[in-house]
Structure 1
Amino acid sequence: MASKTKLLLLSTVCMAFYSCFLRTQSLPETSLVTHLPGYNGTFPSKHYAGYVTLDEKKLYYYFVVSERSPSKDPVVLWLNGGPGCSSFDGFIYEHGPFNFEKGKTPNKMPTLHLNPYSWTKVSSIIYLDSPAGVGLSYSDNSSDYVTGDIKTATDSHAFLLKWFELYPEFVSNPFYIVGESYAGVYVPTLAYEVAQGVDAGLKPILNLKGYIVGNGVTDEEFDGNALVPFVHGMGLISDDLYTEVISECNGNYYNPTSETCESKLNKVDEVIRGLNIYDILEPCYHNTNPIKMKTGDTKLPPSFRKLGETERPMPVRKRMFGRAWPLAAPVRDGIVPTWPELLDVGSVPCTDDEVADIWLNNEEVRKAIHAEKTTVSGPWVLCTSRIKFTHDAGSMVKYHKNLTSRGYRALIFSGDHDMCVPFTGSEAWTKSVGYKTVDMWRSWFVNGQVAGYTQGYENNLTFLTIKGAGHTVPEYKPREALEFYTRWLEGKKM
């Protein structure tokens, strides 16, 4: 009888284990993406997509397995900025496996072609829409749309723990967190959460090796003081005006303390108005009507707070508006308005995100990528106004110093013609960390040509510029972007 009881108990345990095993193994297969509307070829690697549920939050991911060696290549989490912008921005317009060709007639489905410079050539990438309310992610509880830096980091960490439970074969792969623009906040805060989890022994233990930030907002003072030296160095303002600004502002441009200083800074704004803030080399697309900037109860930089509701022409680059907040102003503690909130309009103005909009709001596409219908998760927009976001993590410099001092590798890269988050700020704050320089400022090359400049510090902190690139580097310089990304992931010298 005892023997039968043991046998029954053993059988029950085995069945439970087997059921759990099946669930773990089969769920990714049910998330397998087998086709994509607009693409007729064979996928170069496996694609998976779906939702990870955190209480009432449904966080959407699209996972592309590496085209090279999935069992060995790094797994990378990609995050776009905003806050409030979808990571499909990176998937569709920057470094995803496909290039999207706009249809020849309005509202026609775009055609997809393989991208020769996709970052999935050398790594597996998880494109995550975060926080809930962004992109295809949503919540059954609208209160979840009120969030901030810290909450977003803890939610994304919880997502990762669940995601790696679903895909246990990737737990041992080197893991990196990568993003751009406002992800200059997302990435280090999330990396810190993951590092804390590793130290605490949270299962599964993630094999975090480091992180990458591109043209990322970092620190109120460094970012705020970056614009004036940038525009002077690029020959956009005169020596006379530059000298006057230095004299009146004493190097403090982000928080002017005198009317004279503010007057000089207004002259700088007038001179550079009309340029494309995301890439000063690119054409600028103007709205035919002035855009009304409103302040309301939203905490805006001083220059905006004093405007009240003033009309001013707003130069933007097609589809680039809304990726960094706001204009060239530093991110400050408090509410961070999304672009639709900032401009009192229902969508990001002067943009051409037609390809992504048509594709991701097509119900056949949604079905193919295992996303909820628009009636459930809402329509996809590049940058949402659905969330209310608070910057509550302060300066990122302390996060970078904490992570790099603990042995995590960090690459900070900048397109050197971005005026929204100028390289001058990123160069200054990486130097301010106080590490010894181990690789003096020098050029780096692609195909025998100078591709940019780099400076390396101890504790594996690297600063890198990409010559001629704007705010979203892989979009402007795809070949060079894949090159530095590959070299850095492989631990090679630039």
Structure 2
Amino acid sequence: MENFLLFSLSLLLLNPLLHGGIAIAGKTKDGLEEWGYARVRPKAHMFWWLYRSPNRVENPSKPWPIILWLQGGPGASGVSIGNFQEVGPLDIDFKPRNSTWLQVADLLFVDNPVGTGFSFVEDKELLVKSDVEAAADLTIMLQKIFNRNKSLQKSPLYIVAESYGGKYAVTLALSALKAIEAGKLNLNLGGVALGDSWISPEDFVLSWGPLLKDISRLDKKDFEIVDSVAQKIKQQIREGLYVNATGSWSELENLIVQRSGNVDFYNFMMADAVSDSSSMAASRTRQLSKEIALKKYSKYLNSMRSIPGDSDNDDEESDFISIIRKKLKIIPHDITFGQQDGLVFDALAGDFMKARIKEVDELLAKGINVTIYNGQLDLICATKGTEAWVEKLKWEGLQNFQSKDRIPLFCGKDRLVRGFTKSYKNLHFYWILGAGHFVPVDEPCITIKMISAITQSPAVLSS
């Protein structure tokens, strides 16, 4: 891992490829990191960052995997959050992460959709308005990365998603398969893993009230008030009023915050300080949607320090992002990290509350390995909601899957149960105990064992 600990720019040899006066790609001298922009459509540019594992094992019968990490939001940065705050080689202090997934796979991070993080559009009308449009852009990005690199083509690609990223993941997997079958994309899709994923918004909003009542964060009166809004959302979804449902979702989250004593949506065992009445009133505006979806990711992970890429002044970047920019050397000077995040969320308002259960069914029917994993303490994508949408699958193996017994999971020598799993054919489910929404952060040991099993990595873990 030593190569990843040397972050000093003086130790890096950048190899930019120039196009129109703007550098679109770079890499480190040792070849273990590569990054660049993929022009996925005219005036639409997606930023990606690939890490090669120094632990790569050459095994002809068990090829070394690549993980494509898809962040949620919509509008949350995979380069900032997934990479530096969850599973990449370095943390936000640029110190080594002992639980990096590079131990078992190569890692590809992307700022998706265009407009997120360092990705950008030259015209806001080019922002995607659906998960399917986002998948089309990601497919083009994969073509530009994999089709030119025979070495990468030898590794199966596993799409691993978190939160809203799960909707991107299933639509991308279907889009990629179509491109592979047409001979337009040269890669082997190993599988899809959906971590605390927003696959069925209806099932999640309906789960919040019962769950919070069961853990004493709501009483009967609170529950009835909360459930009435959840039922309204259900009806709006059924009537195809998706933009209205997104607005009601924001209303419901704000109501729960007030009624529950400010429960943390990303770990219901945690709570923020209760806001005063004036700030609570202000949070009823549409801005709440962006605040919850974009900023609470980083707030949860960095409660004791400033947020990478977040600032009270949208025209300023954090020191963290400035250091990244200096390393990469290819980010256009007029592009500020995350400056279009809010617009990304707004553009997807009509798709945000749409379910993607059908896409999961299609992947299962095609024989693609689908793994679902959920943190026990997550609220926003609660396990109760995840189990509800899984029961709606039309996949022919569902009944056999449900009849299976769960297997306990352990980590280390203490023999404490850290989770459970069950599988049938190409459907796998992991229940991760003690974890909230950000499973790799809360339970790194069991998570890396899980991801090693999902990717069938030839790496040998030490514990």
Given that residues 427 and 463 in structure 1 are in contact (C-alpha distance below 8 angstroms), is that contact kept between their aligned partners in structure 2? no
Given that residues 280 and 417 in structure 1 are in contact (C-alpha distance below 8 angstroms), is that contact kept between their aligned partners in structure 2? yes
Match in the other structure for 1:53:
39
Match in the other structure for 2:262:
274
Does 2:362 correspond to 1:399? no
Shift of the 230–254 alpha-carbon distance from structure 1 to 2, 3 Å rule, reads farther
Match in the other structure for 1:18:
none
Does 2:192 correspond to 1:211? yes
Partners of 1:174 and 1:228 in 2: CA distance: 40
TM-score, with length taken from structure 2: 0.75
Deviation of 1:160 (Å): 0.5
Identity %: 22
Aligned length: 398
Q: What pairs up with 1:175-214 in 2 under 5 angstroms? A: 175-202=157-184, 204-214=185-195
Does 2:385 correspond to 1:385? no
Given that residues 48 and 108 in structure 2 are in contact (C-alpha distance below 8 angstroms), is that contact kept between their aligned partners in structure 1? yes
Match in the other structure for 2:133:
151
Structure 2 counterpart of 1:444, from 403, 406, 409? 409
Deviation of 1:222 (Å): 1.5
Partners of 1:126 and 1:408 in 2: CA distance: 20
Gaps of 5+ in 2: 1-16, 237-251, 311-316, 459-463
**Bigger Rg over Cα:** 1
Query: Match of 1:151, SS?
Result: helix
Given that residues 285 and 350 in structure 1 are in contact (C-alpha distance below 8 angstroms), is that contact kept between their aligned partners in structure 2? no
Structure 2 counterpart of 1:100, from 86, 92, 98? 92
Structure 2 counterpart of 1:255, from 226, 229, 234? 234
More helix by share: 2
Structure 1 counterpart of 2:122, from 140, 143, 149? 140
Partners of 2:95 and 2:48 in 1: CA distance: 21
Aligned residue type for 2:328? I
Q: What pairs up with 1:224-303 in 2 under 5 angstroms? A: 224-238=205-219, 240=220, 252=231, 254-255=233-234, 270-285=258-273, 290-291=279-280, 292-293=282-283
Gaps of 5+ in 1: 1-21, 35-42, 102-111, 258-263, 302-313, 324-348
Deviation of 1:424 (Å): 0.5
Deviation of 1:384 (Å): 1.6
Aligned residue type for 1:274? N
Q: What pairs up with 1:359-370 in 2 under 5 angstroms? A: 359-362=319-322, 365-370=324-329
Query: Match of 2:318, SS?
Result: helix
Given that residues 182 and 216 in structure 1 are in contact (C-alpha distance below 8 angstroms), is that contact kept between their aligned partners in structure 2? yes
Partners of 1:359 and 1:266 in 2: CA distance: 31
Given that residues 254 and 283 in structure 2 are in contact (C-alpha distance below 8 angstroms), is that contact kept between their aligned partners in structure 1? no
CA RMSD of aligned residues (A): 3.9
Query: Match of 1:483, SS?
Result: helix
Query: Match of 2:117, SS?
Result: coil
Query: Match of 1:465, SS?
Result: strand
Query: Match of 1:188, SS?
Result: helix
Match in the other structure for 2:248:
none
Partners of 1:151 and 1:317 in 2: CA distance: 20
Does 2:318 correspond to 1:358? yes
Given that residues 149 and 392 in structure 1 are in contact (C-alpha distance below 8 angstroms), is that contact kept between their aligned partners in structure 2? yes
Given that residues 284 and 318 in structure 1 are in contact (C-alpha distance below 8 angstroms), is that contact kept between their aligned partners in structure 2? no
Does 2:453 correspond to 1:487? yes
Query: Match of 1:255, SS?
Result: helix
* Deviations 1:434-473, CA, capped at 9 Å, x for gaps: 41334323432222221122333x3411221211111111
Does 2:385 correspond to 1:419? no
More strand by share: 1
Aligned residue type for 1:365? I
Query: Match of 1:426, SS?
Result: helix
Query: Match of 1:66, SS?
Result: coil
Given that residues 188 and 399 in structure 1 are in contact (C-alpha distance below 8 angstroms), is that contact kept between their aligned partners in structure 2? yes
TM-score, with length taken from structure 1: 0.70
